[in-house]
Structures are given as C-alpha cells and as structure tokens.
Structure 1
Amino acid sequence: MESVDTLLAAHRAYLLGWDIGATGSPDLVTYRSEVPHVSLNGVLRVRGRAPRDALAEARHRLAGLPRIWWAGPDSDAGTAEALLSLGAVQVARMPIMTMAIDRAASPPPPAGLRVTETTDLAEFVPAYARVSGIVPDGLAAAIDREKAFSGDGTVIRLAGRLDDGRIAGTAVAWLSHGVLTLYFVGTQPEHRRRGIGTAMTRAALDLARETGVRTAALTSSPAGESIYQRIGFRTVGAFQLMSF
C-alpha cells in the first residue's frame, strides 16, 4: 500500500492540472482554474509560513473566485486551527480513503449499465457538473479547463450509460504517482439508489488494475464514507476544508 504522502502528492498533481495561475513555491501551493466552483480553486499545502502571511497571500492569489483551503496531513500541524483563529470558516471534513485494488468487493453492476471512456467533454462535463455543484454559468470555463488539462499523470474520463444512451454516472480516473485517484464520481439524480456510483468506482478500479496500478485513493464526503468502506476503502486521514 502506498504511503499517505504519496496519495496526497497524487491529489495535488490532479488539482494542479486545473491551474492557470501561479502555483507559487512549495511553502504555499495554490491552484486557480477560473471555474466558479469552490473545489476548483484553492490552497493545497502550506509549510513553514506564518499563517497570517500565508492567508493574506492566498487571498490575493485567489481573489474573485470561490475557493477552498485543503488543510490536511501534508500541511503544517495546526494549520486548520490557525486559519480558524484568523477568520476562516470550516465548511466540511473530507475523509482520505485508500484501498488495495485487488481486495475490492465486486457487487453486480446495474442491469443495462455500460461504462466506457469518453472524450466528449461537451457531454461529460455538464453531466458531472449537475451533481457536483458547478453552476451553468461555469460550464464553458470547466469545459475549457478540461480541454487544456495538463498534469503529472494520466486522466481517463468514464461515462456510465443506460439503454437510452444518456449519461447516468460519471467518474474521473487519475493515474499518477503509481496510484489511482478518483474524482467526480456521481450519479444523475433520477438514477440514484441503483448502485451506479459503486459501478463507476468499480470500473475505474478495473481500469487501473489493467495498467498495473495496485492502490486506489479518494477524498469522500462524510455521507459517502460508509459506501466506499463497503467497496473496500479504509480511512487513513482527513482534510478540513476551510472557506477563506
């Protein structure tokens, strides 16, 4: 199993693939996508910086956009507490989860679901935007950033379709640092509670195994933690997400 440091490095590499700004030095790693969505602009890590100075610089770099500070195990100890004392607001706790791919549970997929790679971003992005909170006004920017995505790894976009051909589920498989990291795993509201999200996750795991990758990771919402545990993921840490 890969170390937590490796999992977090893969996570940083994915979000930096969205960046069109200046990521700065290793002591304050930020990314700016210009997509008006809170998780697509933010701070990934701070080390060895006075919290007040780091916060001021992060606000300057990300001015005018919704943004998030990922206060996690790869930042200085006490980062979340320091940010709170300076006026930041904790908005969520996101478990960091990992698993050995060959130990994944294999529930039967929903009848009629077909999961394939897609390159049609004009169709794929609106599908995941609908369930991830990207507003309609942000779709054009999100599509542009997906087209220009460039990161230290390989991104594979998976679409789950039912018999009518429309996308019912999405997943982005990010292969970097020898790890599969999952993003934008979601199910369209009218198709929920059918096991589609689990099937999308399973398809990404199978794809990664075929490339020789043996470890998977993701950041989950608290509500999704138990679902991923049933597949075989275990919690190894957490991010405190801070609004600033």
Structure 2
Amino acid sequence: MKPLDTVLAAHRAYLLGWNIGVAGGPGHPTYRSDVPHAPLNGVLRVVGRTPQDALSEARTRLHGVPRIWWVGPESDAGTADGLVSLGAAQVARMPIMTVGIGAVPEVPTPAGVRIAETADLATFVPAYARVSGIPADGVAATIEREKAFTGEGTVLRLAGHLDDGRIVATAVAWISHGLVTLYFVGTQPAQRRRGIGAAMTRAALTLAAERGARTAALTSTAVAESVYRSLGFRPVGEFRLLTF
C-alpha cells in the first residue's frame, strides 16, 4: 500500500491537470479550470500560510468561478477551523479510502451492460456531467478542458453502455505516483442499485493493474462509501470540503 502522502500527491496531480493559468506555490496550490463546477476549481492545501492570507489569495485566483477548498491531512493544523472563522462554509466531509488492488473481489457486470474504455469525450463528458452536477452550459468547457488535460500521469476513461449504446455509468482512472485514483464514478439514476457502480470500479482497477498499479485510492461521498467498503476500500484520512 502506498503511504498517505503519496495518495495526496496523486490527487493533487490530477486536479492540477485541469488548471489554466497560475497554479500557486507548493504551500498553497490552487487550480482553476473555468468549468462552472466547484470541484474543478479550488485549493488543495495550506502549509506555512495563515488562513487569512491563504483565503485572500484564493479569492483573487478563483474569482468568478464556483470553487472548493480541500482541507486534508497535509494542511496545517487548524486550517479548516480558521477558514470557517473567516466566513468559509463546510459542505462535506469525505473519507480518503485506499485498497490493495489484489485484495478487491471480482464483480460481475450486470446483464445488458458493457464496460469499455472510451475516447469519445462528446458522449462521455455529458454522461458524467449529469451525475456529478456539472450544468448543461458547462459541458462544452469540460470537454475542452478534458482535451487539454496536462497532468503528469495516465488517464483511463471507462463507460458502461447499454445494448442500445447509451452510456449509463462512467469512471475515470488516474494513474500517477505508482497508484490509481478514481474520479467521476457514477451511474445514471434510473440504472442504480444494479451493481453497475461496483462493476465500473472493478473494471477500472483491472485496467490500472494491467498498467502496473497495485494500490487504488478515491474520495467517497457518504452515499457511495458502503459500495467501496464492500470492495475492500478503507479510510486512511479525510478531507473537509469548504466553500468560500
């Protein structure tokens, strides 16, 4: 298993791959995609800065876009509470979860679903946008940022198709720092509770293992945590997500 600091470094590398413009220094990295979706614009940590100074700089860098602040284990102690005292609002607590890929059980793909890699961003991005909350008027910008993604690693995009070709589930596997981190894992509402999300996750890990990854990581919503636990993922840390 990879240590937590490596997991966090891989997470930073993915989100910084969405960035346009200035990203900030190592003690206060920010990323801005200009996509109108808060998780794609934000702050990744604060080290050696007062919350007030960090918040002032972040507001300048991220002015005009929805954004979040990932306050995790590598930020200075007291950062989250300091930001809240300055007017930031906590919107979620998300566990950071990892698993050794070799320990993940096999998962059957539900009948009528076919999971495969895809390079068709014109259909893939709208599918994950509907599930993750990216507004319709932000899809075009998301596609352009996906095309221009500059992260140091490998992106694998998986789509779950029905027999009629419709995409009902998505997953993005980011291979960096010797592990795979998962993003945009989601299933369209009408197809949930069929085991598609678990199958998508297992398929993504299989592809990543074929490319040398041995550890998998992700951040989970409360709704999805039980699914990931059933696959063997366990919490190793936590992010407090703030808006500002």
Q: Identity across aligned pairs (percent)? A: 69
1:238 counterpart letter in structure 2: E
Aligned positions of 1:1-244 closer than 5 A: 1-244=1-244
Query: Alpha-carbon deviation of 1:21?
Result: 2.1
**1:22-51 deviations in whole A, cap 9, x for unaligned?**
111111100000000010000001100011
Out of 33-42 and 207-216, give the one that drifted further.
207-216
Aligned-pair CA distance for 1:224: 1.3
- CA RMSD, Structure 1 to Structure 2 (Å): 0.7
Q: Distance in 2 between matches of 1:224 and 1:78?
A: 28
Q: Given residue 212 of structure 2, which amino acid in structure 1 is its aligned partner?
A: G
Deviations 1:60-112 (A, max 9, x none): 00000000000001111111111111110000001100000000022322012
Other structure's SS at 1:149 match: coil
Cα distance in 2 between the residues matched to 1:215 and 1:112: 30
- Distance (whole Å) between structure 1 residues aligned to residue 50 and residue 80 of structure 2: 13
Give secondary structure in 2 for the equivalent of 1:80: helix
Deviation at 1:208, TM superposition (A): 1.1
Q: Distance in 2 between matches of 1:98 and 1:152?
A: 21
Runs of 4+ in 1 over 3 A off after TM superposition: none
Matches of 1:40 and 1:176, distance apart in 2 = 18
Q: Secondary structure at the match of 2:239?
A: strand
CA distance in structure 2 between the aligned counterparts of 1:223 and 1:199, rounded to whole angstroms: 16
Aligned length: 244
Deviations 1:144-174 (A, max 9, x none): 0001011010001101112111111100010
Alpha-carbon distance between aligned partners in 2 of 1:238 and 1:222, rounded to the nearest angstrom:
12
Deviation for aligned residue 1:212: 1.7
Match of 2:45, SS state, is strand
